[in-house]
Amino acid sequence: MLNSTSPVYLHILQNAALVLLSLAFLPVSTYVLLCSYVLQLLTFPRHYIRRQLARQNANFRPKTIIVTGVGMTKGLVLARAFHEAGHTVIGADFEPHHVPVCGRFSRALKRFYRLPKPDAVQGATHYIEELTRIASLEKADLWVSCSGVASAVEDGQVKEILERITDCVAIQYDVDTTEMLHEKSSFIAHTQSIGLPVPETFDVTSRSAVHKILDNASKKKKRYIMKSVGVDDSVRGDMTLLPRRTMSQTYSHISKISISSSKPWVLQEFVKGKEYCTHALVVHGEVVAFVACESSELLMHYMALHSDSALSDSMLKFTQEFVSRSGGSWNGHLSFDFLVQQRSTEKGLEQLLFPIECNPRAHTAVALFNGLAKPMSNAYFQATAASEPNGVVDHHHKANVLIPQNPARYYWIGHDLVELVILPLIRLMLMRQSLRSVASHWKTFAEHLLFWKDGTYELWDPLPWWWLYHVYWPGMFAAAILNRQWWSRINVSTTKMFRC
């Protein structure tokens, strides 16, 4: 993996190689695209039948929904679900370097708008004005925010203005709530204040403060991980356990970190356990849709926990308790990252949940709701009711919570082709990986190709999939070379490049 210290020619070579890889597979992908259109003609698309049946229902009331973030899997999945349920979908997204995002070409959209991205120079004014203008122009009933981390707080500003000057309801938290959930330290402090378990966490703004905590940690035999409070791609993947084996190693590591009152960090206790993530839809202060799955630092394979599993139930209860104890009539998405620790007790093995991070936005795990267009749409439209939904949800049960039952498992073929096929082959040629290990990776790729589902591809809507790999990503790689904007990793599902 390249980083900021890697030679420039290697970064150029990396981007150029990926552009060439896209060109090499262009004939195959185009063949799949054309076959998809032929199959649509030969077999009446099921999504079209479901859409028509929904619209013919006497009780059906068509609505107009704005979905932002349709260039990402999560936004595209929701746009397709609303379309399949019979509604009108308006898409919007940022288009960095003016490279068109794949979601703009989805059949699910009636129209698409390019959004101006908030930045340090112009601020968020243009972004807020454009979104409110679109909502007024389209007479939107609902805005579903699927934007990324870079515009989290700005989306909160849009929500407050949008609901004040239009009749559009936002699936988005207000500014104060978004900031509280988005910032690691304030989220942990809030969670602790409402009586829910959290790992020990410290706000630090100087190296001396870090050393003081770590000196005490050595006596208590505790270890910590440092996390940047702001969005800093260059350090996001650093999971170094502190203190290190020797004091000099610890001091050396800390000395390389840029830390100050303007660049604060958090020092969080390391919890040895398995990582999980969740996605929840909260409407009128109630959890109305939920799914949980195993996680990792860069999650590119999604397999839902069974809805009847004790672990999934525990994470649902935690989410419900968090929302209930926080108060307020929230409308928005809520995603947690958990570490689950097992320990032996007199009663047997006990599983302890520790929330380590919260994302007040949609999670890619929403793809696991694919195939539930009607109930998903109905869950969102509860937000447009003038009052809270009829009935009271018991916070200790799953009543009225939509949970996918045995959903498909998801992968992204572009990611797997590189990670499971090409890179292992290169390492084999360089004698850095065994033939058995390469064969294992290739077997996994074959299993995903045959039995899993690509997160972007749909038979009735194949163009976004083709565009993602043969226009969007090549365009971004070319822009990276031209602008000398180097990256260490990319997330195909969220179209995010992690800058060096």
**The pair of three-digit structure tokens given for residue 352, joined into one six-digit string:** 């302890």
Cα dihedral 313, 315, 320, 325 sign: positive
How, if at all, do strands 169-171 and 111-114 pair?
Answer: unpaired
- Could you check whether 200-269 and 274-408 share the same CATH topology? no
Cα dihedral 134, 138, 144, 146 sign: negative
Q: Mean pLDDT across the stretch 157-182?
A: 94
The structural domains of the chain, with segments of one domain joined by +, span 8-40+411-499, 42-175, 200-269, 274-408
**Dist CA 242 CA 247 (whole Å):** 10
Task: Identify the pLDDT of residue 219.
Answer: 67
Give pLDDT tens digits for 427-456.
999 999 999 999 999 999 999 999 999 999
First to last CA, the chain: 11
pLDDT tier for residue 322 given thresholds of 50, 70 and 90? very high
In degrees rounded to 5, what are phi and psi of residue 33? -60, -50
User: What CATH number should be reported for the domain whose range is 274-408?
Assistant: 3.30.470.20
pLDDT tier for residue 344 given thresholds of 50, 70 and 90? low
The residue among 14 and 225 whose pLDDT is bigger is 14
Class of domain 200-269: alpha beta
Q: Mean pLDDT across the stretch 172-187?
A: 92
Give pLDDT tens digits for 236-286.
657 788 888 888 888 888 888 888 888 888 888 888 889 999 999 999 999
**33-42, 231-240, 297-306 — which is least confidently predicted?**
231-240
User: What CATH number should be reported for the domain whose range is 42-175?
Assistant: 3.40.50.20
471 DSSP assignment: I
90 strand-pairing partners: 66, 111
H or E, element range at 266: strand 265-269
Strand order in 348-359's β-sheet?
Answer: 286-294, 274-283, 332-345, 348-359
226 strand-pairing partners: 267
Average pLDDT, the chain: 90
Is the model's pTM score more than 0.75?
A: yes
